[in-house]
A and B are shown apart, each in its own frame.
Chain A
Amino acid sequence: QVQLQESGPGLVKPSQTLSLTCTVSGGSISSGDYYWSWIRQPAGKGLEWIGRIYISGRTNYNPSLKSRVTISVDTSKNQFSLKLTSVTAADTAAYYCAKEGAYTSPFYYFDYWGQGTLVTVST
């Protein structure tokens, strides 16, 4: 069974870069069978998709965040990462990494999620 675990600083200063890593276990990112996504959720609010990456390095980003987001993958560590630049208080949220359904499937959904990590943007 696939498991995902987010890690990274819980506190980031305004204007700095938020950096998070998702470690995947129970399956290999290198298999090339899935896209891997980042999703965030401000406290008490809804879910916002940030972006995703495929093993080839191909990425897709939410247009509202695209200018500030970079998602990358490290197959040797079975990890993928998120960088969000120029953060403000509005970027304070729980950040989740998630696995999509099979790449070859006609269906689009997230079937495995990390437990989430809270990132606060504050001085």
Chain B
Amino acid sequence: EIVLTQSPGTVSLSPGERATLSCRASQSVSSSFFAWYQQKPGQAPRLLIYGASRRATGIPDRFSGSGSGTDFTLTISRLEPEDFAVYYCQQYGSSPMYSFGQGTKLEIK
């Protein structure tokens, strides 16, 4: 089973700043099988990025994804107040099965 480890666990930033969130896989993951989600309190997760770098429908272009192999990054270029939330990475692997990272909380500084 592939384990996804997200860092940092919590990051404190101000609106307008740039956020860089990381996700490391315990084994190489196909970029096609990698995605990022945003979750706000009391809500279901929302798909942001799929295929490691493709923005989902309706996602602002301040969100971008990059990476390959075992290291993936979600970047938010200029934080808006509504971006403060928990972010999860996800991979699809053999078995077949899905797994998620433990999440990174992006909080207002």
Q: Hey, what's the 0/1 contact readout for B65-109 against A, CB within 8 Å counting as 1? A: 000000000000000000000001010100111111111000000
Least Cβ–Cβ distance between A53 and chain B, in angstroms: 13
Cβ contacts under 8 Å, B54 to chain A: 107
Q: Hey, what's the 0/1 contact readout for A19-32 against B, CB within 8 Å counting as 1? A: 00000000000000
Least Cβ–Cβ distance between A104 and chain B, in angstroms: 13
Complex Cα distance, B31 from A106, in Å, reads 10
Contact, CB under 8 Å: B97 / A62: yes
Q: Hey, what's the 0/1 contact readout for A43-62 against B, CB within 8 Å counting as 1? A: 00011110000000000111
Contact, CB under 8 Å: B44 / A113: yes
Q: State whether A107 and B50 are in contact (beta carbons under 8 Å apart), knowing that A49-B98, A49-B100 are contacts in the complex.
A: yes
Least Cβ–Cβ distance between B57 and chain A, in angstroms: 8
Contact, CB under 8 Å: B95 / A108: no
Q: Does A115 count as interface, using CB distance less than 8 angstroms? A: yes
Contact, CB under 8 Å: B101 / A110: no
A96, closest chain B residue (CB): B44
Q: How large is the interface on A (under 10, 10 to 19, 20 to 34, 35 or more residues)?
A: 20 to 34
Complex Cα distance, B97 from A62, in Å, reads 6
Contact, CB under 8 Å: B44 / A49: no
Query: B45: which of A47, A61, A62, A108 is its contact (CB, 8 Å)?
Result: A47
Cβ contacts under 8 Å, A96 to chain B: 44-45
Q: B residues touching A (Cβ–Cβ < 8 Å)? A: 1, 32-33, 35, 37, 43-47, 50-51, 54, 56-57, 88, 90, 92, 95-103
Beyond the given pairs A46-B103, A63-B1, 18 more chain A to chain B contacts, judged by CB atoms under 8 angstroms and listed by A's residue number, are A46-B88, A47-B100, A47-B103, A48-B100, A49-B97, A49-B98, A49-B99, A106-B32, A106-B51, A107-B33, A108-B50, A108-B92, A108-B98, A109-B56, A109-B90, A111-B56, A111-B57, A115-B43
